[in-house]
Amino acid sequence: GRDTIILAGGTVQLQAQAAGTGLDYRWTPISYLSDPQIANPIASPNEDILYTLNVSSNQGCLAADNIFIKVLQLPEIPNAFTPNADGYNDVWNIRYLESYTNATVEIFNRYGQQVYYSVGYANPWDGRFKSEELPMGTYYYIINPGNGRKAMTGAVTLIK
């Protein structure tokens, strides 16, 4: 089957195709499958998983294939960070956002001026705008992860 991506909490029907008589289907691991002994079970994993399908016929023919399911977790957005160069919490790390390769992140100050923008999040926000440190305060974000998830909005506090 073809590798696929689903959102955490979602489901996907695995699509196996085999020809022959008296076919026996065995999916492994059996975790999160509706029925590991049918050709097209429903999978609802909550983490990335590699499924293997072994098919055998009553004539002794064997075939196997794999399908990888990437599960996109809901980004975990911290509400504060401390860019004070102490090595702890110096950037605004958004857990799981790296798996949303086309995500956009916008951050605004209290006047509505955009102080940060990125497509993807390879370089987390460090509390700077045009290489200058921003003052302590509350900033507002819009994160659009794409891939079927709705945009997320909220506030983040920059603490010094």
99: pLDDT strictly greater than 90: no
What confidence tier does 17 reach under pLDDT thresholds 50, 70, 90? confident
130: pLDDT strictly greater than 90: yes
What confidence tier does 121 reach under pLDDT thresholds 50, 70, 90? very high
Backbone phi and psi for residue 81, each to the nearest 5 degrees, phi listed first = -155, 165
The per-residue pLDDT for 36 is 97
pTM: 0.78
The per-residue pLDDT for 34 is 97
